[in-house]
C-alpha cells in the first residue's frame, strides 16, 4: 500500500466486523490517513435461512457491533449503510439465475464490482471520503503511470481473483492495506492491537449462504423457480441414460458428490444442458478441458488481449493458475487455450488473467471445450 503520509485525506474503510478489515483500519490510521468505518448491510439472514442460530457472519448484528467496537477503540466514526436492495438486485438474483441456468456463479466478484466499487464508492464521495480501503489480500502498484492491480503477497490468501471486475478508474481511489501481509501477520497485528476478533475462525462460504447448502438456499429463496428447475437425465458421453435428477439447479461442472450414480470409477459432472435438462457425467479424466470461451471481459490493465504475453489464467478461486494463450473472437469473446488440460472448467466462473503478479483482466467462462 502507498505509505505517503497525507493526513488530510479521508479513507472510507469497508468493515465487515472481521479481523481482516479491522486490521486494515489500523493500518490506514498508522499510515496517517483520516478514516471513516462503514459496514454495508447487504443481507438479512431471515430472508435466506441457514443462519438462524449462528450469528457470527458478516451482516449479522454481532458482526456490525464488532465493527463498531473496533472503530470506537480507534476513535473512528462508524456507520452501517443499507445496501440490501442493490445486493439483492446485482448479486443474489444473479446467483439464482445462474444456478437455475446450470452455471456456477461467483457472487463475491459481482459484490466487489457493483457494491463495493460501485454504490459504496459513490457514497464515499458523497460523504467526503477521497479513498476506500478494504481488507482484501491484494496490492495496488502505484509506481507506474496508471495503478496496477497485483496479487496479494500471501499466496494462500490472495484475493485478486475476486477483483477483476472493478472499474479500472477506481484503482486510483483504492487502498489494500493488507496486500503485503500474510494472514499470520495480520492475526499478530490484530492481537497486538487488542482487536476483539483477532482469533476468529476463517470463513470461506458465500456470505448469504452461511450453511454452504446451495440447494437449500435456492429452495428457500426462490421456491417456485427451483421447483421448476429443468429435471432430466444423467447421461454418459455416448448419450446412454445413467439415471435421472430432479433439476439442474445446484449442479456444478466437476461435482462428484450427491450424484447417486455408481460406476466402476467415480462419476463427475462434465456438462449441464439447461435446454434438455441432460447432465453429462464422465470419469475424472473425461472432465478435463483443453480450452474455454470467456465473455463479459474487463480489461483492468488497459491492454488489449491480443497483446497479452506470458499469460496465466486462473479459472476458479484457489486454482493454481495455468499458462495459456488467448485468441480474440468476435463479440468481444476470448478463446483460451490452456498449456495443460484443466479439470472442471465451469461456465459462470470467472477466468482471471495474470502476467506474473499483475491482474490483466478477467471475464466469465461461457463454455469449456474438451477438444475439437
- Other Cβ atoms within 10 Å of 358 Cβ, number: 18
Choice between 44 and 205, CB closer to other proteins: 44
Is 77 a binding residue for other proteins by CB under 8 A? The answer is yes
* CA–CA distance, 206 with 42 (Å, rounded to integer): 12
Is 54 a binding residue for other proteins by CB under 8 A? The answer is no
Nearest to 32 by CA among 50, 49, 11: 11
Choice between 125 and 256, CB closer to other proteins: 125
Q: What's the farthest any 2 CA atoms get from each other in the chain? A: 68
Which grid coordinates belong to 130? 477521497
Choice between 41 and 183, CB closer to other proteins: 41
* CA–CA distance, 64 with 165 (Å, rounded to integer): 26
Which grid coordinates belong to 280? 453429462
Which residues, other chains included, contact 221 with Cβ-Cβ below 8 Å and sequence gap of 6+? 47, 48, 92, 96
Is 64 a binding residue for other proteins by CB under 8 A? The answer is yes
Is 36 a binding residue for other proteins by CB under 8 A? The answer is yes
Is 61 a binding residue for other proteins by CB under 8 A? The answer is yes
- 207 a catalytic residue: yes
Is 127 a binding residue for other proteins by CB under 8 A? The answer is yes
* Shortest separation between residue 81's beta carbon and other proteins, angstroms: 5
Separation in Å, CA 332 to CA 87, 328, 335, 355: 27, 7, 10, 20
Is 142 a binding residue for other proteins by CB under 8 A? The answer is no
Number of residues that bind other proteins (CB under 8 A): 15
Is 79 a binding residue for other proteins by CB under 8 A? The answer is yes
Among 5, 7, 46, 126, binds other proteins (CB under 8 A): 126
Is 96 a binding residue for other proteins by CB under 8 A? The answer is no
Among 30, 55, 72, 82, binds other proteins (CB under 8 A): 82
* 6, 28 contact by CB (below 8 A): no
Among 2, 6, 9, 41, binds other proteins (CB under 8 A): 41
Residue with cell 483477532: 198
* 253, 271 contact by CB (below 8 A): yes
Q: Which of 59, 71, 108, 207 is catalytic?
A: 207
Among 27, 68, 116, 173, binds other proteins (CB under 8 A): 68
Which residues, other chains included, contact 128 with Cβ-Cβ below 8 Å and sequence gap of 6+? 10
* Shortest separation between residue 84's beta carbon and other proteins, angstroms: 8
DSSP symbol at 200: P
Choice between 2 and 84, CB closer to other proteins: 84
Among the residue ranges 80-88, 89-97, 288-296, 297-305, the one whose residues contact other proteins (CB under 8 A) = 80-88
- 71 a catalytic residue: no
Nearest to 321 by CA among 287, 350, 282: 350
Which residues, other chains included, contact 65 with Cβ-Cβ below 8 Å and sequence gap of 6+? 17
Among 80, 142, 188, 366, binds other proteins (CB under 8 A): 80
Q: What does DSSP say about strands 34-41 and 138-141: parallel, antiparallel, or unpaired? A: unpaired
* 299, 171 contact by CB (below 8 A): no
* Shortest separation between residue 80's beta carbon and other proteins, angstroms: 4
Nearest to 221 by CA among 105, 115, 95: 95
Among the residue ranges 81-89, 289-297, 350-358, 359-367, the one whose residues contact other proteins (CB under 8 A) = 81-89
The catalytic residues are 111, 207
Binding residues for other proteins, rule: CB under 8 A, are: 36, 41, 61, 64, 68, 77, 79-82, 84, 123, 126-128
Amino acid at each position: 500500500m502507498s505509505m505517503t503520509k497525507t493526513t488530510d485525506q479521508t479513507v472510507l474503510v469497508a468493515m465487515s466486523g472481521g479481523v481482516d478489515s479491522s486490521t486494515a483500519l489500523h493500518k490506514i490510521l498508522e499510515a496517517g490517513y483520516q478514516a471513516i468505518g462503514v459496514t454495508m448491510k447487504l443481507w438479512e439472514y431471515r430472508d435466506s435461512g441457514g443462519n438462524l442460530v449462528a450469528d457470527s457472519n458478516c451482516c449479522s448484528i454481532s458482526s456490525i457491533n464488532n465493527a463498531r467496537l473496533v472503530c470506537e477503540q480507534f476513535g473512528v466514526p462508524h456507520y452501517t449503510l443499507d445496501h440490501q436492495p442493490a445486493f439483492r438486485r446485482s448479486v443474489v438474483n444473479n446467483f439464482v439465475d445462474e444456478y437455475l441456468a446450470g452455471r456456477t456463479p461467483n457472487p463475491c466478484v459481482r459484490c466487489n464490482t457493483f457494491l463495493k466499487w460501485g454504490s459504496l464508492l459513490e457514497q464515499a464521495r458523497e460523504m467526503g471520503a477521497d479513498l476506500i480501503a478494504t481488507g482484501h489480500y491484494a496490492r495496488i502498484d502505484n509506481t507506474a503511470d496508471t495503478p496496477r492491480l497485483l496479487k496479494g503477497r500471501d499466496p494462500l490468501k490472495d484475493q485478486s481473483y475476486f477483483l477483476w471486475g472493478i472499474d479500472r478508474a477506481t484503482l486510483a481511489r483504492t487502498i489494500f492495506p493488507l496486500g503485503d501481509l500474510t494472514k499470520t501477520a495480520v492475526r499478530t497485528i490484530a492481537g497486538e492491537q487488542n482487536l476483539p476478533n483477532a482469533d476468529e475462525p476463517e470463513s470461506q462460504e458465500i456470505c448469504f449462504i452461511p450453511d454452504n447448502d446451495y440447494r437449500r438456499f435456492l429452495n428457500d429463496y426462490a421456491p417456485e423457480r427451483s421447483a421448476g428447475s429443468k429435471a432430466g437425465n444423467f447421461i454418459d458421453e455416448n448419450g446412454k441414460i445413467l439415471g435421472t435428477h430432479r433439476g439442474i439447479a445446484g449442479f456444478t461442472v466437476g461435482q462428484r458428490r450427491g450424484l447417486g450414480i455408481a460406476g466402476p470409477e467415480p462419476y463427475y459432472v462434465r456438462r449441464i444442458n439447461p435446454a434438455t435438462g441432460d447432465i453429462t457425467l464422465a470419469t475424472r479424466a473425461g472432465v478435463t478441458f483443453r480450452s474455454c470461451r470467456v465473455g463479459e471481459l474487463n480489461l483492468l490493465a488497459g491492454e488489449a488481449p491480443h497483446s497479452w504475453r506470458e499469460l496465466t489464467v486462473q479459472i476458479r478461486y484457489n486454482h493454481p493458475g495455468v499458462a495459456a494463450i488467448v485468441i480474440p473472437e468476435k463479440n468481444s469473446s476470448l478463446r483460451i487455450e490452456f498449456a495443460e488440460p484443466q479439470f472442471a472448467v465451469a461456465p459462470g466462473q470467472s477466468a482471471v488473467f495474470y502476467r506474473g503478479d499483475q491482474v490483466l483482466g478477467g471475464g466469465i467462462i461461457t463454455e469449456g471445450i474438451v477438444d475439437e
